């Protein structure tokens, strides 16, 4: 059977030489034209790439410079999380640099220098971390009742200081007590007869958790120890040594004071290091207004005859120097000595020692020094302290501040003029202050503008120092009672606008209430003016801040006293404004 191939091969007719010759010139022209166009396109492509590279490079550099400018501006603002904001700016800049580098060469240029605030923060973190080891070693050498293994672990892991076990051990060390689990672990259950259980109570706390029970040596421990010679034979010497260490810590001996001193300095360093490592979650007020002031006061005020020792003050100042922000440093100092006494004296001493030129600081001259004099000189019928006591205190501050305080004492109204001047002259002789009598403060006649500016500067300083809202509200009321007119009310609103939104809200809530609980008679008119301004479109930015803050309060705690009080006060002066405010916050419609 034969197979036939069905494949058909098509052949094109071959061009003749005449046809090739006739089309050659046209083909050559077209090829030359394409080559010329390709050359132009390559040139345009290179030019375009160069322009894109320049634009991206300019964008990269200008963005880095903008971040540095913003970081410098932000670091000057009185806000709590400056470090966090600057860190975010730097992180954003690094991301932009990476994207720009990927568009260009795939390799980022050398980074721009870090903002000063981040450099300072990094240096302080390194300094604090480096200070932990010598502080721990010093405390261990003083042989405290704390477990040495716990203390040694802080060198490598400072965060362990805030673990529950370490917190309980620290609390027991301060009070001369012991955690029950430590007694059981080191001495066994048989040793419990030497201790009193300070936690278990038949009525208040009948079944405490085992790791929460605190023990203390019985008052007759030594007698019980002698009466039970066969008890815990392997650890008797260790138990007796622990008892003696606790007694030394509790006693006012040199070793006990040295232990407490070292422990307080270590606590300050670890507290501050923990804050700088966790600024996004730690509230600065809790650190700088509550925890650190107590440590500084306990470090310096020892309760001895010479309570304020300059050596201890220098130690306190070296610790305060670790705090980067000046306002936070002042917050620590201003919250020392809340109970009065030597702690309050320490507050003014630290405040005056921090000023290089106190005579040029109106706040020091017009507020700090007069308050210090009032603290030093008690009101009649109490007698002023002897010159020797005042001299010992004034020796702790620099000469310019001594002169200010001595002049303040000579002008004090808590003594007769002759007694005040005589006391001031005596202090001047002891401190070798020359020409003191000719420098007694003379009340100058101030123009109304200057007097008004000084008065509102005091209120502004209270806001900047984050004073209590009640204190700020009281200062505003005092000024408005002294000079009540439209300009003063407007100035009080301008001052409040400069505060952070939480301070504005809380001060607003405190404004109507006097110290005795009654309502200030001018409060309604003043607050009505505030609400009118707040609702005006000119202050829309402030209104949005207030609404956002109140909305956050409502989401976190719908029955927040601050939220309800603020809305109620707005309703008190302007029902329509309260309705709008409640709607923007998300509250139920007001009745």
Q: DSSP string covering 98-115, please?
A: HHHHHHTTSSPPPPPPPP
Dist. CA 192–CA 498, nearest whole Å = 60
Q: 224 is written with which tokens?
A: 């019980």
Q: What are phi and psi of 179, to 5 degrees?
A: -70, 140
Burial (CB count within 10 angstroms: exposed 0-12, middle 13-18, buried 19+), residue 423: buried
**Do the Cβ atoms of 260 and 249 come closer than 8 Å?**
yes
Instruction: Return the C-alpha torsion angle 482, 487, 492, 496, nearest 10.
Output: 180
Hunting for tokens 């202090």 — which residue is that? 427
Type and span of the H or E element at 587 = none
**Do the Cβ atoms of 321 and 452 come closer than 8 Å?**
no
Angle at 419 between CA 414 and CA 422, to 5 degrees: 130
Q: What are phi and psi of 399, to 5 degrees?
A: -60, -45
Burial (CB count within 10 angstroms: exposed 0-12, middle 13-18, buried 19+), residue 350: buried
Confidence at residue 271, expressed as pLDDT on a 0 to 100 scale = 94
Dist. CA 25–CA 35, nearest whole Å = 15
Q: What are phi and psi of 205, to 5 degrees?
A: -150, 70
For residue 158, the number of C-alpha atoms closer than 13 Å in the C-beta half-sphere is 24
Dist. CA 476–CA 532, nearest whole Å = 18
Distances (CA, A) of 257 to 142, 249, 253, 314, 320: 10, 7, 6, 17, 21
Chain centroid to CA 121: how far?
13
Q: What is the separation, in whole angstroms, between the first and last Cα of the chain?
A: 108
Type and span of the H or E element at 494 = helix 486-498
Confidence at residue 302, expressed as pLDDT on a 0 to 100 scale = 83
Confidence at residue 58, expressed as pLDDT on a 0 to 100 scale = 67
Confidence at residue 357, expressed as pLDDT on a 0 to 100 scale = 82
Confidence at residue 560, expressed as pLDDT on a 0 to 100 scale = 86
pLDDT along the chain (591 residues), means of 10: 52 66 77 84 81 71 65 57 62 67 59 63 89 94 91 93 91 91 91 92 86 91 89 90 91 88 95 88 85 93 76 94 87 89 92 86 83 89 89 91 89 85 88 66 54 80 82 86 82 85 88 80 87 87 89 86 88 88 78 54
- Within 8 A by CB and 6+ apart from 92, the residues are 67
Chain centroid to CA 496: how far?
21
Dist. CA 520–CA 401, nearest whole Å = 38
Angle at 234 between CA 232 and CA 239, to 5 degrees: 65
Bridge-based pairing state of the strands 214-217 and 178-179: antiparallel
**Do the Cβ atoms of 430 and 387 come closer than 8 Å?**
yes
Confidence at residue 353, expressed as pLDDT on a 0 to 100 scale = 92
Handedness of CA 523, 465, 393, 427 (dihedral sign): negative
Handedness of CA 233, 189, 168, 250 (dihedral sign): negative
Chain centroid to CA 361: how far?
24
Prediction pTM value: 0.62
Q: What are phi and psi of 39, to 5 degrees?
A: -60, -40
């Amino acid at each position: 059977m034969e197979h036939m191939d069905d494949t058909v091969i098509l052949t094109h007719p071959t061009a003749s030489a005449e046809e090739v010759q006739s089309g050659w010139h046209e083909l050559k022209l077209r090829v030359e034209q394409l080559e010329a166009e390709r050359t132009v396109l390559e040139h345009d492509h290179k030019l375009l790439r160069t322009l894109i590279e320049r634009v991206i490079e300019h964008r990269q550099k200008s963005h880095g410079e903008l971040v540095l400018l913003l970081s410098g501006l932000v670091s000057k603002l009185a806000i709590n999380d400056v470090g966090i904001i600057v860190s975010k700016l730097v992180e954003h800049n690094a991301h932009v640099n990476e994207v720009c580098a990927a568009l260009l060469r795939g390799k980022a240029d050398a980074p721009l220098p870090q903002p000063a605030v981040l450099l300072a923060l990094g240096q302080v973190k390194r300094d604090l971390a480096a200070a932990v080891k010598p502080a721990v070693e010093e405390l261990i050498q003083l042989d405290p009742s704390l477990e040495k293994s716990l203390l040694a672990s802080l060198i490598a892991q400072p965060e362990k200081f805030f673990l529950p076990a370490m917190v309980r051990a620290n609390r027991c060390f301060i009070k001369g007590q012991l955690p029950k689990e430590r007694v059981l672990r080191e001495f066994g259950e048989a040793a419990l007869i030497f201790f009193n259980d300070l936690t278990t109570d038949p009525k208040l706390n009948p079944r405490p958790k085992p790791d929460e029970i605190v023990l203390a040596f019985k008052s007759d421990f030594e007698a019980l120890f002698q009466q039970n010679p066969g008890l815990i034979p392997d650890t008797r010497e260790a138990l007796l040594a622990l008892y003696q260490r606790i007694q030394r810590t509790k006693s006012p001996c040199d070793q006990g004071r040295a232990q407490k001193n070292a422990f307080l300095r270590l606590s300050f360093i670890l507290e501050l290091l923990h804050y700088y490592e966790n600024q996004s979650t730690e509230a600065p007020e809790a650190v700088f207004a509550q925890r650190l002031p107590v440590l500084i006061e306990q470090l310096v005020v020892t309760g001895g005859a010479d309570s304020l020792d300059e050596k201890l003050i220098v130690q306190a100042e070296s610790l305060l120097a670790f705090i980067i922000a000046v306002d936070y440093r002042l917050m620590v100092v201003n919250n020392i000595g809340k109970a009065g006494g030597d702690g309050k004296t320490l507050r003014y001493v630290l405040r005056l020692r921090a000023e290089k030129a106190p005579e040029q600081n109106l706040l020091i001259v017009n507020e700090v020094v007069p308050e210090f004099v009032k603290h030093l000189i008690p009101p009649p019928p109490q007698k002023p302290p002897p010159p020797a006591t005042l001299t010992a205190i004034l020796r702790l501050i620099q000469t310019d501040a001594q002169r200010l305080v001595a002049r303040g004492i000579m002008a004090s109204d808590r003594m007769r003029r002759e007694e005040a001047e005589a006391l001031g002259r005596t202090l001047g002789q002891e401190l070798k202050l020359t020409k003191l009598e000719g420098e007694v403060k003379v009340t100058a006649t101030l123009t109304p503008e200057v007097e008004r500016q000084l008065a509102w500067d005091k209120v502004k300083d209270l806001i900047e120092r984050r004073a209590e809202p009640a204190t700020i509200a009281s200062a505003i009321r005092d000024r408005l009672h002294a000079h009540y007119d439209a300009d003063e009310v407007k100035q009080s609103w301008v001052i409040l606008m400069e505060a952070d939104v939480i301070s504005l809200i809380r001060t607003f809530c405190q404004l109507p209430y006097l110290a005795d609980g009654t309502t200030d008679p001018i409060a309604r008119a003043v607050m009505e003016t505030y609400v009118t301004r707040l609702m005006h479109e000119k202050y829309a930015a402030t209104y949005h801040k207030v609404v956002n803050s109140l909305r956050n309060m409502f989401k976190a705690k719908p029955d927040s006293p601050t939220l309800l009080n603020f809305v109620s006060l707005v309703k008190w002066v302007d029902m329509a404004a309260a309705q709008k405010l409640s709607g923007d916050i998300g509250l139920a419609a007001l009745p």
